[in-house]
Amino acid sequence: MISTALAKMEAHMTNIECTNYIPDIIMNVSCILNRTAHKTGSLNMEFAVSQDVIDVNGIYILTIKQGSYLTNFTAIKLELCQLLDSVESHFLLKMVTTEIRRIGNLPLECPFKMNKRYYVKEFTINSNVIPSYIPAVNFISDFHIFIKNRKAGRIIIRGRLIHRR
Ligand SMILES: *[C@@H]1O[C@H](CO)[C@@H](O)[C@H](O)[C@H]1NC(C)=O
Ligand SMILES: *[C@@H]1O[C@H](CO)[C@@H](O)[C@H](O)[C@H]1NC(C)=O
Ligand SMILES: *[C@@H]1O[C@H](CO)[C@@H](O)[C@H](O)[C@H]1NC(C)=O
């Protein structure tokens, strides 16, 4: 009853930027925002690694921007080799990992295997998980990846939350 009265929000992705700091280890990186397959935009990503990779960590920072005012909505450290254990409590991460398992082949436990093609195909943000108290804002999703504590990669996704019509 109440939920029908709340404005539904939809997350549209407008831009993606992927940086590979260790091309000797991370290779064949492709990172594309497709604006036509889904109205909210969808991401296609793939990569391989030149050796078995363990000890992968991440820092995820979600920043929202209203006018010129920036707020860090969330900043989380992630043990990517034990993602299954660490995500259950966080709605954002749970949504992302559920979706990624459905549409890709990323392992949720390490190692990432040498010369295997990892991919995520047509990732979209599930708008049902967006709390309806969040106003229409621009967002910046900034994901830093470290391998053995060495800066390895960064994925920045920019977009906008808008009222669904
Ligand atoms: C986007 O997706 C559509 C539909 O799947 C496909 O035809 C098109 O080639 C894709 N564009 C890019 C840039 O990947
Ligand atoms: C958000 O977090 C990042 C990384 O910790 C930091 O560099 C930045 O200054 C923070 N921004 C705000 C508005 O707090
Ligand atoms: C990486 O790209 C090279 C050159 O396109 C290709 O020969 C190789 O099979 C690719 N490796 C993987 C694991 O996809």
> CA-to-CA distance for 73 and 135, rounded, in angstroms?
12
Residue 2 is assigned to a structural domain of this protein: no
CB of residue 75 inside a 6 A radius of ligand 2: yes
Question: Ligand 3 centre from 136 Cα, in Å?
Answer: 41
- The domain total for the chain is 1
Which residues are bridge partners to 122 per DSSP?
none
Query: CB of 32 closer than 6 A to ligand 2?
Result: no
63 confidence band (pLDDT: 50, 70, 90): very high
Q: What is the CATH number of the domain that holds 69?
A: 2.70.220.10
- Note whether residue 114 is domain-resident: yes
Q: Taken in order 159, 85, 132, 128, is the CA torsion positive or negative?
A: positive
Measured CA to CA, the distance from residue 46 to residue 83 in angstroms comes to: 19
In DSSP notation, 6-64 reads SPPEEEEEEEEEEEES-TTTEEEEEEEEESSSSTT-EEEEEEEESS-B--EEEEEEEEE
Is residue 36, in this structure, part of any structural domain at all? yes
pLDDT classification of 74: cutoffs 50, 70, 90: confident
pLDDT for the residue numbered 84? 59
pLDDT one-digit tens code per residue, 81-102: 876 566 666 666 777 777 778 8
Let me know if residue 110 belongs to a domain.
yes
Tell me, yes or no, whether 76 lies in a domain: yes
Residue-range definition of the domain harbouring residue 114 = 9-163
Average pLDDT, the chain: 86
pLDDT at 67: 85
Query: So what's the pLDDT on residue 93?
Result: 72
Give domain status of residue 4, yes or no.
Answer: no
Ligand 3 midpoint to CA 24 (Å) = 13
Write down the pTM of the prediction: 0.86
Q: How much is the average pLDDT of 51-61?
A: 93
Residue in 124, 164, 125, 135 with CA at minimum distance from that of residue 9: 164
In a domain, 75, yes or no: yes
